Amino acid sequence: DQRESPRLGARRGTQDVSYYAAPARAKDLSNLPRTYIDVGSVDSVRDEAIEYAVRLSQSGISVDLHVWGGGVHGFDNFPNTGVSQAAVATRDEFFRRALER
């Protein structure tokens, strides 16, 4: 898919995109912090998110990965849906625990 991203513009899909904008492009993931990733099961970036979580885990990084059934891209922006409420509550709990340390 070569459509322009509103954030990356014409750089989307090219080598001109830094791994700061597309973290899955980083070669070395070994020194990253514990990571939370959530994605909808029908999100256009689902496979990339899962692949990134696997790569992090293989690099020794603790990963909390959640794939939310029925979630589309941006599903967590619809607060009146059950899947959004569950995702936001789970994410909030992750960060609450992380900040307790």
In a domain, 77, yes or no: yes
What is the pLDDT, as a whole number, of residue 6? 57
- Among 47, 53, 45, 95, which Cα is nearest to 74's? 45
pLDDT tens readout for residues 12-48: 777 778 777 777 778 899 988 899 999 999 999 999 9
In a domain, 14, yes or no: no
Output the DSSP codes for 52-78.
Answer: HHHHHHHTT--EEEEEETT--TTGGG-
pLDDT tens readout for residues 54-80: 999 999 999 999 999 999 999 999 999
Structural domains in the chain (count): 1
Instruction: State the residue range of the domain holding 52.
Output: 33-100
What is the pLDDT, as a whole number, of residue 1? 44
Q: What percent of the chain has pLDDT over 70?
A: 93
In a domain, 96, yes or no: yes
Residues 6+ positions from 75 with CB-CB distance below 8 Å: 40, 43, 68, 81, 83, 84, 87
Q: Whole-model pTM?
A: 0.78
Task: Return d(Cα 65, Cα 83) in angstroms, integer.
Answer: 15
**Residue 77 CA to chain centroid, in angstroms?**
15
99 membership: H or E segment, kind and range:
helix 82-100
In a domain, 10, yes or no: no
In a domain, 12, yes or no: no
Average pLDDT over residues 49-53: 95
In a domain, 23, yes or no: no
In a domain, 27, yes or no: no
In a domain, 80, yes or no: yes
